[in-house]
Structure 1
């Protein structure tokens, strides 16, 4: 273990840099007194506890330990463990650092690799952590009050849509009792669609492409049954792919991108609503058309997103997902069902190997079990075996 020490010829504390970011390998070789380099905005209790158990001398965060959006207790736990906290060194620090190399961290949050400065951040003291926590509590309460106030306004204006489906167009695609896969733009929606290939092959779901994700589906060889999108976000060849096209529209019926549709000569329907999210509208459409299950690829929303005031975590998004209820399943859950455990996938190989070994042993015993040559012994054994089997049927 590399216990930290204060140098005599240079200010600061020395320790080994360990890349503990997602995808980093520093956790496997971590020793007490090392410097944990993380990328953890609003670090959670679980993340902090994992680091506390490693007993680092310092935690160097490329992001902020607390952004002020949520009251997270992670920084307090690290400070309770007498760990030096440095934040905001930036993503470029990951390129400058070298996992496993000795570094020096000064009291003002500057990191040196030898004599070279590779990064600098802000040192977090207990008073700052407590002040941020208190401010985040106030911000969260204010945000949630505004969020649910806006939710009430949305229900007031869109109650007929949420209750009776008023304004939802007829898609022309039969969804009743079928699986529906709604694919929305995200960083990993392509990868998830690839992992869902067995699900798609087995159930042949109705495929709905949302905005630019419709282009991804076509490029991957799939033919979306339905496209819910502003046409300006979708390629012309995708709009001409034969899918039914639905345009999000304002409550008065104005649909952005309608001119492009008209120029292409593609038939389309409008979906007037107070929300401009194509994903929300696609989910409401699938639910209204009585889909058996809706698999959402990209565009998911959870409580953490709402707390953090993410742009896509709107009152409309929450209400649309609540409307779909138990029909809505995140793609990750389906992918898990179709992913075989790493160890189990080799079971049939071990069984086959066992059979081959058994056959080899039988051949050796038969070939070496007589006074003649190996081939003659094997031939005689085979002849005796066939005669015995033939006798069973006579």
Structure 2
């Protein structure tokens, strides 16, 4: 087993990721009409956005099937700088106000939806072949597909309607959560001991950092350089978060997840691999772990962790049951929009797991916004300090002591000048 040391060799450079620059860049025209007539690109098709995004080249015409596009998926698309994103499903269905489309429109990426009455685009378009966007029509060879452009005004109107439906979504979400809380496998997360895998990484008595690909996780991670250097925590990456850690020079000790959104390079980085499996029925000796096949196809070994809930729930349980004295979580999901973005109708497992680990858990989500606020206030506080000190300086200058200090200061400055 690896001994704990005060120095962490995994940390080379906690630099702000270039991704932050992409998300703040804006163009003059942020509607779909920003694409000029006759602009061409290679068509890329993908029904699972998180798997498609890492394979994209800049300038592609990206076709997805992703109703209610979430923020994390939108940012992974934005990093590839596509010419346009065409959705075979509604960007905003009206169930809740998802923020993913705004991320792309604000960066000047043209958005389109399949027009009413048009056949499934995945049945009509050819992968990796060029196509042309002319106005609201996509042309590839002899095929012409009418599209519906999504503008800022249209998006704002849809989001307004979606906000009116939040109460309905919240009610359904709460009912689903309560229904799942009554299931035996969910209650077992809180009431029964969990059989967690043995790990080479020493966790007992250490701080543990768990990183999940949640909204704003990269910005929050960038603020934790001091914590990583001083505490040398065990680092657990949930699935694709391993790639974000590696891009900052931090090698995770453990990668845990379904292994469906992580790159081959990250899988081969040397971390322990634990595949999240579906909870094993009591009568069954086999484990259903779809991600295991991919790991084995790369010639790698992995353990399985059969437990109910999400992969981030499993990561929290692993750290807790292995004896971590502090668990710092970045990017974890905790509210209604988070879970709806992930397509989950409830949060029973997360609720129970957080009840269990809460005494050791520090949720670092949003820490980057605290630092940003402090930086915005710094110039104001400096100005206020100068304004407050000015009257005192004037009063002091009119006293014998003040005049003596002033003359001494002038002499000191003259000596410095030689």
* TM-score normalised according to structure 1 size: 0.52
Matched, 1:167 2:195: yes
1:354-369 equivalence runs, <5 A: 361-363=410-412
Matched, 1:293 2:331: no
Structure 1 or 2, whichever has the larger Rg, is 1
1:250 aligned onto 2:278: yes
Counterpart residue number, 2:352: 319
Superposed CA offset, 1:81-114 (max 9, x none): xxxxxxxx9996997xxxxxxxxxxxxxxxxxxx
User: C-alpha distance in 2, partners of 1:248/1:183?
Assistant: 15
Shift in CA distance, 358/304, structure 1 to aligned 2, threshold 3 Å = farther
- After TM superposition, the structure 1 = structure 2 runs for residues 256-335 of structure 1, keeping only pairs within 5 Å, are 256-275=290-309, 277-302=310-335, 311-312=343-344, 314-332=347-365
Trace 1:1-394 onto structure 2 (pairs within 5 A). Answer: 140-153=170-183, 156-252=184-280, 253-275=287-309, 277-302=310-335, 311-312=343-344, 314-332=347-365, 361-363=410-412
- Is residue 176–residue 290 contact of structure 1 (8 Å, CA) maintained in 2? yes
Q: Is the 8 A contact 1:158 1:273 kept in 2?
A: no
Aligned-pair CA distance for 1:225: 0.6
Q: CA deviation at 1:121?
A: 9.0
Residues 1:338 and 1:197: Cα distance change in structure 2 (over 3 Å)? farther
Partner of 1:16: none
Contact 1:93/1:119, CA 8 A, preserved across alignment = no
Please state how far the C-alpha of 1:304 moved relative to its aligned partner. Answer: 6.4
Deviation of 1:258 (Å): 1.5
| Aligned-partner Cα distance in 2 for 1:90–1:241 | 31
Deviation of the 1:341 alpha carbon: 5.2
SS at match of 1:325: helix
| Deviation (angstroms), 1:342 | 5.5
With over 3 angstroms needed to count, the CA separation of the structure-2 counterparts of 1:257 and 1:359, relative to structure 1, is farther
CA RMSD of aligned residues (A): 4.7
**CA deviation vs aligned residue, 1:200-234 (integer Å, no higher than 9, x gap):** 11111111111111112112211101100223432
Contact 2:237 2:254 (8 Å CA) reproduced: yes
For 2:317 and 2:249, how far apart are their aligned partners in 1? 26
Shift of 1:301: 0.7
Q: Structure 1 residues 342 and 285 mapped into 2: Cα distance closer, same or farther (>3 Å)?
A: same
Tell whether the 8 Å contact from 1:248 to 1:272 is kept in structure 2 after alignment.
yes
Q: Distance in 1 between matches of 2:189 and 2:103?
A: 45
Distance 1:321 1:199 in 2: 22
Q: Is the 8 A contact 1:179 1:205 kept in 2?
A: yes
1:289-314: CA deviation from partner (whole Å, max 9, x where unpaired): 121221111122136656x6863552
Cα displacement string for residues 104-147 of structure 1 (whole angstroms, at most 9, x for unaligned residues): xxxxxxxxxxxxx99579999xxx99xx97x8656644542232
Please report how far the alpha carbon of residue 248 of structure 1 lies from its aligned counterpart in structure 2 after TM superposition. Answer: 0.7
Contact 2:220 2:366 in 1 (8 A): no
In structure 2, relative to structure 1, the CA distance for the partners of 1:223 and 1:163 (3 Å cut) is: same
Mark the runs of 5 or more structure 1 residues left unpaired by the alignment. 1-21, 25-40, 42-62, 71-88, 96-116, 368-374, 379-394
- Residues 23 and 288 (structure 1), Cα distance of their counterparts in 2 relative to 1, 3 Å cut: same
**Does the 8 Å contact 1:183/1:210 carry over to 2?**
yes
**Alignment correspondent of 1:85:** none
SS at match of 2:293: helix
How far off is 1:271 after superposition?
Answer: 0.5
The answer to whether the 8 A contact 2:170-2:336 is kept is no
Larger RCO of the pair (alpha carbons < 8 Å, separation 6+): 2
